[in-house]
Chains A and B, each alone.
Chain A
């Protein structure tokens, strides 16, 4: 499949737009449908598409497994870190009102970082699961 020029060209055309759409879903989630979870899944789908066309080793070179594993835990830490930031600034845990002098701006900032955390964790987990499945070979005794 790696030699098929149609697939390669189509993938090259599509993947930038998929990633762009993921970013749109991520940052426009406050206004339209979408948010961190959907954006994370679309990012993961774009990378999986790349891996299907160009092969797993190329995808692993693009996004090494250590990076993906760090993303899994890093997203949760970003989310929890927003809560701790609220504590340090004198509010409750996950209290966004204190993140900015203007409470509404503080809410926007808190939601933004939380969505980033969700997207990072979700895309990390999806990619890791895909890597683990795709990296295995058929057992000889089956």
Chain B
């Protein structure tokens, strides 16, 4: 995956970048399956590798397929991103070890969700019951975010079309 990211950063042909991004999404989906997060893997495979690739190709058709040469040297941005990445990696050292049963996230509400989910909601898939029932307000918010994003795209692209007809 790291090789893919480097290839995407170096590659100047945008078509190749889109295809590499699709491959990256499929690899990410496999990693998520390996982590037993099948719901997320399904989303990653269908959204990341499927629909966003089609949308990027559609956007590519509207522009040129070669990336423009950068105007400035990449020194300062590179320094900043390496600095931020270093800080983030340093932050992960403070996290509890992976699948540590005593980590705070596993001792707060998770035991209650896991033990009472089937009894209270009658739904065997805990992911679904947490999303739709225990955390129903959050999911309502997420659905509203998706709707707002769609409405924003509609508003942006619509106005462009009207301008063109006025010209």
Contacts and interface: CB of A to CB of B under 8 A. Distances in A.
Nearest to B39: A33
A30 B123 contact: yes
B83 interface: no
A98 interface: no
A30 B125 CA distance: 5
| Contact count band on B | 35 or more
A96 to B, nearest CB: 7
Contacts of A118: 139, 143
Interface on chain A toward B: helix, strand, loop, or mixed SS? helix
Task: Please classify how large the interface on chain A is, using the bins under 10, 10 to 19, 20 to 34, 35 or more.
Answer: 35 or more
Contacts of A72: 147, 150-151
A134 B127 CA distance: 35
B123 A80 contact: no
Contacts of A30: 123-125, 128-129
Contacts of B123: 30, 107-108, 111
Given A30-B123, A35-B132, A45 B51 contact: yes
B22 to A, nearest CB: 13
Given A31-B125, A104-B121, A132 B154 contact: yes
B140 A83 contact: yes
A59 B127 CA distance: 34
B150 A130 contact: no
Contacts of B150: 72, 124-125, 128-129
30 contacts: A29-B125, A34-B39, A35-B127, A41-B50, A41-B51, A45-B50, A48-B51, A48-B54, A72-B147, A72-B151, A79-B139, A80-B140, A83-B140, A103-B120, A107-B121, A107-B122, A107-B129, A108-B121, A110-B132, A110-B133, A111-B121, A114-B136, A115-B132, A117-B143, A122-B143, A125-B149, A130-B55, A133-B59, A139-B62, A142-B63
Interface of B: 38-39, 42-43, 46-47, 50-51, 54-55, 58-59, 61-64, 120-125, 127-129, 131-133, 136-137, 139-140, 143-144, 146-147, 149-151, 153-154, 157-158, 161
